[in-house]
Amino acid sequence: MRDMAPVAVVPRKRRGVELALIIFALGLALGAYALVDLNVTGELSTAFPYVAGICSLVAALAHIAVRWRLPYADPVILPCVILLNGLGLVMIHRIDLINEPPLNGARQQLIWTALGVLMFILVVTWLNDHRPLQGFTYTIGLAGIVLLLLPLVPGLGTEKFGAQIWIQVGPYSFQPAEAAKVLLAIAFASYLVEKRDVLALAGYRVLGIDLPRARDLGPILVMWLISLAILVWQRDLGTSLLFFGLFVMMLYVSTERAGWAVLGTLLFAAGAYFGYLNFSHVRRRVGAWLDPFSDFDAYYQVIAAQFGMAWGGLLGTGLGLGRPGLTPLARSDFIAAAIGEELGMTGLMAVIMIYGLIVARGLRIALQCREPFGKLLATGLSFALALQVFTIIGGVTRLLPLTGLTTPFMSQGGSSLICNWIVAGLLLVISHQVRKPAATVTPINPDLEQTQLVKAGV
């Protein structure tokens, strides 16, 4: 009987594993950076020691913050994010070198990376627990929607590359959709946790599918209209898909009713078809997807990306030895094509697998989580990342029509990078809360008490 004494299962912290993986990721990224220099110019650039130093410092700070405040957090996500961020930096540096004199996009990106890690550290140390976020459902939701629609404000929003998804304040431009993604994932999670019972239980059953009551349709219709507004006025298919997909998925997960997913898919299909019929920018994207060679000049971007990846082939041309500069926007939307050209399809698939790892770890956290808000939030953040990767890399590789989303952690641009670091921070926070041992009171075992008393009585 004595052997049956309750043993609290304390998960291993695995911070050492994380550190080893981070060192591995840093080595890969910095090695790639050096390779770019060597292959393009034949010598290491003078900036390389600084780049290596800053990257290592930033990674170390992130790791220390996690070790200090989130000792039980998932050990895989942070190294994956560092590797992706590093590879993005390398590709941007490589594309910088095409220009004569070289651009300094990589330096800019390094600054954004540092800011992103700063935000990550803030989330890790200062927020530390995701549950308080539940208290600001409507504030956060409203902020998210306002941010999302901000580019439509005349004078504030600016059109870039055919999509009005940027806001310009003075010399600074900002893509608010990325921040809105995080805010809305939080807001959806806390809203749905509150309302899920009524959304799940009331309704009718038609053809084996539970349909919601008409008055409960409000939220999904509002999100649908917002998504359509993004599609119509911001001309951004990707953002529209991302937000609506995120919302429908979270609705489905929280209510456990497939009816919501079916309804959402139908609504999205209707919206997409409506867009295809009425908007030339949507038709052009679809045309470039189905048959890019029907109009070489109009679909040049998609064609150039295809050319690049075909040129890279299975193993790639080698870092610095391809010609990613021939693809427009190679450092932002088309960074996946640049990876595919220089690291080959093998390299691109490896990158996809790293995203897959992050998503898998995120969903694992959701499954392990014991309270609904954290569960829903982790699912939402992971799925949003999966959907974003699927949409942009699928677009670049011609699996889907191209949409103007950023490639998380890799594309050049501060808003996307910082927001995705916050996502990574949030996932780690949830995972720490999930895995840390509960501060339980050891139940009193009368037998043990007695034995102790005997001992004490000597």
Partner 1 sequence: MNKPIRRVAFVAMIMFALLLANGTYMIIFRQSTLDSQPQKRRVRDAEFAQNRGAILAGGRTEIAKTVSAKDRFKYQRVYPDDELYAAITGFYSYDRGSSALESTYNAQLSGTDDALFVRRLIDLATNKTPKGASVQTTIVPEIQEAAATALGDQKGAVVALDPKTGAVLAMVTSPSFDPNDIASHDIEAAGKAYDRLASNPQHPMSNRAAREIYPPGSTFKLVTAAAALADGKTPDSLVESPDRLKLPGTRVSLPNSSDCGGTEITMTQALKVSCNTAFANLGLEVGEDKLREQAQLFGFDRRHLADLKGVASQFPDKLDEAQLALSAIGQYDVAASPLQMAMVSAAIANDGVLMDPYIVSTVRAQDLQPIQTHKPDALSTAMTPENAKELQQMMSVVVSEGTGRNAQIPGVEVGGKTGTAQSDPKRKPFAWFTSFAPLDDPKIAVAVIVEDADIPRNDIGGGRLAAPIAKATMEAAL
Site for partner 1, rule CB under 8 A: 249, 252-254, 256, 293, 296, 303, 306-311, 313-314, 322-323, 326, 340, 345, 348-349, 352-353, 355-356, 359-360, 363, 366-367, 372, 375-376, 379, 382-383, 386-387, 389-390, 393-394, 397-399
Within 10 A of 343 (CB to CB), how many other CB atoms are there? 24
Least distance (Å) between residue 98 CB and partner 1? 11
Beta carbons of 279 and 267 less than 8 angstroms apart:
no
Q: Coil, strand, or helix at residue 149?
A: helix
Least distance (Å) between residue 335 CB and partner 1? 15
Q: Are strands 163-169 and 172-174 parallel, antiparallel or unpaired?
A: antiparallel
Nearer to partner 1 by C-beta: 54 or 349? Answer: 349
Least distance (Å) between residue 79 CB and partner 1? 19
Question: Whole-angstrom Cα distance, residue 383 to residue 381?
Answer: 6
Long-range contacts of 192-196 (CB under 8 A, 24+ apart): 192/250, 192/251, 192/254, 192/255, 192/376, 193/134, 193/254, 193/372, 193/373, 193/376, 194/137, 195/219, 196/254, 196/255, 196/372
Nearer to partner 1 by C-beta: 121 or 386? Answer: 386
Residue 224, H or E segment = helix 218-233
Nearer to partner 1 by C-beta: 316 or 413? Answer: 316
Nearer to partner 1 by C-beta: 142 or 266? Answer: 266
Least distance (Å) between residue 184 CB and partner 1? 17
C-alpha separations of 285 from 282, 289, 302, 452 in Å: 5, 6, 9, 77
Show the tokens assigned to 77.
């996500």
Nearer to partner 1 by C-beta: 186 or 366? Answer: 366
Nearer to partner 1 by C-beta: 205 or 370? Answer: 370
Least distance (Å) between residue 114 CB and partner 1? 30
Within 10 A of 368 (CB to CB), how many other CB atoms are there? 16
Nearer to partner 1 by C-beta: 217 or 360? Answer: 360
Least distance (Å) between residue 405 CB and partner 1? 14
Least distance (Å) between residue 345 CB and partner 1? 5
Nearest CA-CA partner of 410 in 344, 311, 339, 320 = 339
Nearer to partner 1 by C-beta: 176 or 404? Answer: 404
Question: Whole-angstrom Cα distance, residue 341 to residue 305?
Answer: 9
Least distance (Å) between residue 5 CB and partner 1? 30
Nearer to partner 1 by C-beta: 313 or 437? Answer: 313
Least distance (Å) between residue 292 CB and partner 1? 10
Question: Whole-angstrom Cα distance, residue 303 to residue 297?
Answer: 9
Q: Coil, strand, or helix at residue 11?
A: coil
Type of residue found at 242: L
Least distance (Å) between residue 152 CB and partner 1? 30
Show the tokens assigned to 34.
């050096």
Question: Whole-angstrom Cα distance, residue 193 to residue 135?
Answer: 12
Nearer to partner 1 by C-beta: 133 or 303? Answer: 303
Question: Whole-angstrom Cα distance, residue 165 to residue 403?
Answer: 12
Those residues with Cβ within 8 angstroms of residue 83's Cβ, 6 or more apart along the chain or in another chain: 25, 28, 29, 354
